[in-house]
Amino acid sequence: MQDDLTAAATSLPRLPKAPTGIEGLDEITEGGLPMGRPTLVCGSAGCGKTLMGIEFLVRGAAEFNEPGVLMAFEETAEELAANVTSLGFDLAGLQAQKLLRVDHVHVDRSEIEETGEYDLEGLFIRLGYAIDSIGAKRVVLDTIEALFSGFPNQAVLRSEIRRLFRWLKDKGVTTVITAERGEGTLTRQGLEEYVSDCVILLDNRVIDQITTRRLRVVKYRGSTHGTNEYPYLITGDGISVLPVTSLRLDHQVSNEIVSSGLEALDDMFGLRGFYKGSSVLITGTAGTAKTTLAAAFAEKVCQEGNRCLFFAFEESPRQLMRNMSSVSINLQPHSDAGLLRIEASRPTINGLEQHLVTLHRLVKEFKPDAVVIDPISNLITVGNIAEVRSMLTRLIDFLKVNGITALFTALVSGRGQQQEMTDEGVSSLVDTWISVRDLEGVGERNRGLSILKSRGMDHSNQVREFIVTPRGIVLLDVVIGPAGIVTGASRHTQQLKAQAQARAAQAELDRKDRELERRRRVLEGTIANLRTEFESVEEELRKINQEEQEQLSGGRRPADDNAPAGDSQSAGSEPTAQA
Amino acid sequence: MEAEELADPAGPEYALHLYITGATPNSVRAVHNIKEICELYLKGRYELLIVDIYQQPELAQEVGLIAAPTLVKKRPGLVRRLVGDLSDRRRVLTALGLPIPPELDHADNG
């Protein structure tokens, strides 16, 4: 939608802007300060107002070829030059190149006597001469309010300051006016009445003993701008404002897959790993091997020849390497080869923004393919939840935009309840969420691992028990008992029980086979018996039959004696007769 | 300060520089006033230099001008800056370390 609007607006002339070159500020102001107009930078002591002004000039001269004039009311040119040398700003060099002119305006009440009507034309001429002599496009008036201490006539001063701003506008120079913050007002002397084009408020807040500097664009006439309070830092390279790096979610995505470092864990993901450039969260209670999982991932990244940046907030690099080598995760060679960089610090060493800046800087320097932060939950010690969340949002966005795979670990507290919530509430920001937890059973604790979510790919729904062995992390197969998943010793019991059952079943089967065999044998025996019996009966019958036959022929003979016998005789006699 | 240390060899006792901005009303009045004061109270003891910083803008930074017109008293004593059109004569005289004449005192009171 914003694109449509800007497209429509391009036909009209847009408010010209002068880029400040200050990291992040140009993003918030959408291009820079209003060109040719005055901008008021106000804030309390120690906010970096002067520094912002100087950086605006130095960057303008060095990067945008816009010479500048610095009119300093509080510090002399030498003091200013010395103060900003540590930031790499060479004021003397720029002055020699005629890209910068520093004019210290000395205001001393004791030297000034008012004797009638006057104006500040002297200042105008000075400034005008300085601007014209180097063709300046930028002007910084560092705490013009100092004039109020030197000149008691406020009416004159106010009308003259109003005239000064008008005059600067007419000259077309982009001006930054710094002013001290007042009670209940933006500036002590109410300068905001005169500067109405752009007002930037710097703030230095101490909450829970931690200082955070914040910047807010109070108003910007004729332009849209980021309206939030943005943390900023004074770093070794000047001011760095941290806007949410991607206000719109439009980063590039990759279809490449990176391994989790554990083959068995990869198997639980549909595409065997995480998407490159995605963010992975490992949550778990204390002692659930979160760091070990993170280190396994880091090792895998390095083994594939990629670079990994490991932020350790709990252990020193040596301690981490020693501890991980006990489970066959050898980080030392990768560290030596320059593929792995372990950055260890206590979270409390810096404010959150400093951490974020350190991270930004290291990522820019080291150009890692993957970043591991172990653990993010420790950051809560440096800020409140909302701040940590906003910092992590920016961090995740930053890494995503740069296509860096990020793996975070987080300690979750409160066993049993709310295990599915991280304290930082970042779970909705991450793409893949692995939960490790204690499965506490009868007299022992075991570790279980499950995938709570994995955007863009299917994943196993099982809770896998895993053990940390001297050879690394091993995921065990799922064993399901009568009351759900069984782990640890119960797993063994369950396995033994299952084996016994299997043996019993086998024995039963064997017994049945044998029974059948026996029956068959009995049957066969019976059959043989019957057959034998039958044979003897058969034989008996045959014998009887034979005897009967014989008897039959023998009976005829005695019958021959009688009538039949005569037959036989006759028959017998016949052959004889015939013979 | 009132001690009349008479003319040191470097020049007149009073060295005054008046920086004005062209012919603006304040500047014109200032020139008029300082000339009158000098004639009245410092006759023969002063050296007055009137500079138009429109003509010599580079001087503005060198001298450290803020307001205009400005009268810089170089000598004697500490350097003092008198801003304004010098119409408040009492103040001018005080700043220059001159005694307040009775008629001025009287006039002011009256």
User: For residue range A326-335, what is the model confidence (pLDDT) as tens digits?
Assistant: 998 999 999 9
For residue B3, being part of any structural domain is answered with no
CB count in 10 Å sphere of residue A496: 10
Q: Quick one: average pLDDT of A436-454? A: 83
The whole-number pLDDT of residue A573 equals 44
- Residues in A closer than 8 angstroms to B65, CB to CB, are 122-123, 125-126
| Percent of all residues in chain A with a pLDDT value above 70, rounded to a whole number | 89
Q: Please, are residues A61 and A99 in contact by the beta-carbon 8 Å criterion?
A: yes
* Structure-model confidence comparison of residues A233 and A215, the more confident one: A215
| pLDDT tens per residue across span A451-471 | 988 888 888 888 888 888 888
Q: How many residues can be counted in chain B?
A: 110
Q: What is the pLDDT of residue A510?
A: 94
CB A29 within 8 A of CB A220: yes
pTM score: 0.68
Which residues from chain A sit within 8 angstroms of residue B33, using beta carbons? 116
Confidence bin at A555 (pLDDT 50/70/90): low
- Note the pLDDT of residue A249: 62
Q: How confident is the model at residue A60 (pLDDT cuts 50, 70, 90)?
A: very high
Highest mean pLDDT among A562-576, B22-36, B72-86: B22-36
Q: What is the CA radius of gyration of chain A?
A: 48
Residue B97 lies in a domain: yes
Q: Which residues of B touch A116 (CB under 8 A)?
A: 26, 29-30, 33, 84-88
pLDDT per residue as tens digits for the range A245-272: 545 566 778 888 899 888 888 988 888 8
Contacts of B70 in chain A (CB under 8 A): 118, 122
Q: What's the DSSP call for residue A274?
A: E
Looking at every residue in chain A, the average pLDDT score rounds to: 83
Average of pLDDT values for A350-369?
82
State the total domains in chain B. Answer: 1
Cβ contact (<8 Å) for B26 and A103? no
Residues of A with Cβ-Cβ distance to B30 under 8 angstroms: 116
A114, A128, A129 member nearest B84 (Cβ) = A114
Is B56 among the domain residues? yes
Look up residue A165 and give its two tokens: 């701003």
Domain-located, residue B66: yes
pLDDT at A564 over 50: no
Sign of CA dihedral A241, A242, A245, A247: negative
State the smallest CA–CA distance between residue A41 and chain B in angstroms: 22
Name the pairing type of β-strands A308-312 and A279-284: unpaired
Distance from CA of B74 to the nearest CA of A (A): 12
**Which chain A residue lies closest to B59 (C-alpha atoms)?**
A126
Is A115–B71 a contact, with Cβ atoms under 8 angstroms apart?
Answer: yes
3-state helix, strand, coil in chain B (%, to 5): 35, 25, 40
β-pairing verdict for A370-374 and A308-312: parallel
Q: List the domain range (segments joined by +) for residue B98.
A: 14-109
CA distance A507 to A345: 63
Q: How would residue A66 be classed by pLDDT, with cut points 50, 70 and 90?
A: very high
Provide the pLDDT for residue A497: 87
Q: Residue A60 and residue A22: Cα distance in Å, rounded?
A: 10
For residue B103, give the H/E element and its range.
Answer: helix B102-109
Confirm if A190 and A153 have CB atoms less than 8 A apart.
Answer: no
Query: What ipTM does the predicted assembly reach?
Result: 0.86
The continuous run of DSSP H or E covering B31 comes out as: helix B25-41
Task: State yes or no: pLDDT of A371 exceeds 60.
Answer: yes
Q: What pLDDT, on the 0 to 100 scale, is given for residue A397?
A: 82
Confirm whether B5 is domain-assigned. no
CA A128 to chain B, closest CA, distance in angstroms equals 8
Which token pair is A120?
A: 């500040």
State the pLDDT confidence band at A39, using cuts at 50, 70 and 90.
Answer: very high
Query: What per-residue confidence (pLDDT) applies to A477?
Result: 78
Q: Which of A90-94, A385-389, B36-40 has the lowest mean pLDDT?
A: A385-389
Among B33, B68, B83, select the one facing A112 at the smallest CB separation.
B83
Minimal CA separation from B16 to chain A, in Å:
15
> In DSSP terms, which residues pair with A230 in a beta bridge?
A215
The answer, yes or no, to whether the previous bond of A575 is cis (omega within 30 of 0) is no
Contact B95 A118 (CB under 8 A): no
Q: How far is CA B3 from the centre of its chain?
A: 19
B27 or A489: which leads in pLDDT:
B27
Sign of the CA dihedral running B50, B53, B56, B58:
positive
- The answer, yes or no, to whether residue A414 has pLDDT greater than 70, is no
Secondary structure class of A99 (helix, strand, coil): coil
Percent over 90 (pLDDT), chain A: 29
Alpha carbons within 13 A on the beta-carbon side of A316: 2
Three-state SS letters, A303-336:
HCCCCEEEEECCCCHHHHHHHHHCCCCCCHHHHH
**CATH number of the domain within which B97 lies:** 3.40.30.10
For residue A224, what are the contacts with CB-CB under 8 A and spacing of at least 6?
A30
Query: Closest approach of chain B CAs to the CA of A318, in angstroms?
Result: 60
Q: How far is A232 from chain B (nearest CA, A)?
A: 35
| pLDDT tier at A421, thresholds 50, 70, 90 | low
Q: CA of B71: how far to CAs of A174, A415, A418, B51, B98, in Å? A: 32, 81, 78, 10, 15
Distance, CA of A265 to CA of A289 (rounded, Å): 14
**Which residues does B contribute to its contact with A (CB < 8 Å)?**
19, 21, 24, 26, 29-30, 33, 53-54, 57-58, 60-61, 64-71, 79-88, 91-92, 94-95
A555 φ/ψ angles, rounded to the nearest 5 degrees: -70, -35
Within-domain flag for B6: no
**A111 touching B (Cβ < 8 Å):** yes
Q: What are the pLDDT digits (tens) for A175-210?
A: 999 988 888 888 888 877 777 789 999 988 887 677
The Cα A348–Cα A380 span in angstroms is 9
Judge: A126–B57 Cβ closer than 8 Å, yes or no. yes
* Separation CA A562–CA A530 (nearest Å): 47
Looking at mean pLDDT, say which of A8-12, A247-251, A386-390, A509-513 comes out highest. Answer: A509-513
Q: How many residues does chain A have?
A: 579
Answer whether residue B102 is part of any domain.
yes
Report whether pLDDT(B3) > 70: no
Mean pLDDT of A480-493: 73
Cis-peptide into A564, omega within 30 deg? no
Give the pLDDT confidence score for residue A488 in this predicted structure.
Answer: 73
What's the pLDDT score for residue A10?
52
Tell me the CB-side half-sphere exposure of residue B104, using CA atoms within 13 A.
15
In a domain, B2, yes or no: no
Flag whether residue A572 sits within 8 Å of chain B, measured between CB atoms. Answer: no
Cβ under 8 Å to B: A residues 412-441: none
Distance of CA B54 to the CA centre of its chain: 19
Convert the pLDDT of each residue in B88-108 to its tens digit: 888 899 888 888 888 776 554
- Burial label for B8, CB within 10 Å (0-12, 13-18, 19+), is exposed
**Helix H or strand E segment including B16:** strand B14-20
CB pairs under 8 A between A and B: 104
**Torsion (CA) A416, A422, A428, A430 in degrees, nearest 10:** -110
Partner-chain residue, chosen from B81, B87, B94, that has the shortest CB–CB distance to A111: B81
Check: CB of residue A165 under 8 Å from CB of residue A179: no
Give Dmax over CA atoms of chain A in angstroms: 203
Report d(CA B75, CA A52) in Å as an integer. Answer: 41
Q: B33 or A472: whose pLDDT is higher?
A: B33
Write down the mean pLDDT value for chain B: 83
A103, A115, A150: residue with CB nearest B84: A115
> Is A579 a residue whose pLDDT tops 50?
no
Q: Which residues of A touch B24 (CB under 8 A)?
A: 119, 121
In the 8-state DSSP scheme, what is residue A208?
T
- For residue B76, give both structure tokens: 């004697």
**A492 compared with B45, residue with greater pLDDT:** B45
Number of CB atoms found within 10 A of residue B55's CB: 9
Partner residues linked to B15 by β-bridges: B47, B75
Better-scored residue on pLDDT, B75 or A544? A544
pLDDT at A382: 72
Which residues in chain A are contacts of B85 at CB distance < 8 A?
Answer: 115-118
- pLDDT value of residue A422: 57
> With pLDDT > 70 as the criterion, what percentage of chain B qualifies?
85
